[in-house]
Amino acid sequence: MAYTSQSLRGAAVLGSAVAVLGLMSACGNDTGGGAPQKVPGNASPASDGPTGATHTSGGSAPASPSAASPAGTPSSRQPTATTGTGDSAVDAGRSTRCHTSELSATVGRNNPGAGQENFPVVLTNKSARTCTLHGYPGAAFVNASGTQLGPDPKRSSGKAATVTLKPGQSAWAGLSFSNPEISEAKTATPAALLVTPPDERDQLKVKWTAGAVPVSGNSSSVFLTVIAPGTGA
């Protein structure tokens, strides 16, 4: 079959038209209302990020502002628990405290007044080191066999202070009681006064030469004051 040039041109035009229609159809499929493709992973709002921002479960969420560390402070740094300065002070006090073996004890001269008998109980540092005393000493009157006479002395009110004793220095506490002749308390005559330095267990024995002391009955209490520097003279 023979084709004329006009027939060939018509066929070419028809082929071009078909190609254009095919291209338009393909573009319509890309922008049409077909189902959207799914992206792997679950997306969720980032509540601690900028407004409108999102992140996926596979990503790293921004740090929450409320959990941010102060400037210059590593977030991993935590407060360190310590035993406290109170414990340290107690330990330091124990290491410098005067021990019974480092002290000698004496009872000073009576300084009576207003119906009271007042004696200074003196502790002297006989060691070669500086040590400290703090608070109240202990005391007890005893007879020749070592039996205590009367109850333990009571503590007079007072603010305790640490007294530092260099070798040879002394501190004292006041021991007082009502004159038995005035109070008419029952009395006994001690052979010695046992003195216990503050925070110690061992005692120092001092010969008692001041006569009878009250041990029971009216106004028979004996009182001790806190340790103070000096000899009380």
Give the C-alpha separation, 24 to 33, whole Å: 16
Determine contact, residues 204/158, Cβ cutoff 8 Å. Answer: no
- Give the pLDDT score at 218: 85
Give the C-alpha separation, 17 to 15, whole Å: 5
Determine contact, residues 132/177, Cβ cutoff 8 Å. Answer: no
What radius of gyration, in Å, describes the C-alpha atoms of the chain?
A: 49
Q: Report the share of the chain in percent with pLDDT over 90.
A: 55
Q: List, for residues 107-154, the tens digit of each pLDDT value.
A: 999 999 989 999 999 999 999 999 999 999 999 999 999 999 999 999
Q: List, for residues 19-53, the tens digit of each pLDDT value.
A: 444 444 444 444 444 444 443 333 333 333 333 33
Structure tokens at 157: 């009110």
Cα–Cα separations (whole angstroms), residue 162 to 97, 103, 181, 191, 200: 10, 16, 37, 31, 15
Neighbours of 163 (CB within 10 A): 22
Average pLDDT, the chain: 73
Determine contact, residues 103/171, Cβ cutoff 8 Å. Answer: no
Determine contact, residues 158/226, Cβ cutoff 8 Å. Answer: yes
- What type of residue sits at position 233? A
Mean pLDDT of 57-78: 38
**Strand extents, DSSP E, 36-146:** 43-45, 54-56, 103-107, 116-125, 131-134, 138-142
Determine contact, residues 175/111, Cβ cutoff 8 Å. Answer: no
CA angle 83, 88, 92 (to 5 degrees): 160
Judged by average pLDDT, the poorest of 66-70, 103-107, 223-227 is 66-70
Q: List, for residues 48-61, the tens digit of each pLDDT value.
A: 333 333 333 334 44
Which among 115, 132, 229 is positioned nearest to 173, based on CA atoms? 229
pTM above 0.75, yes or no: no
- Give the pLDDT score at 233: 82
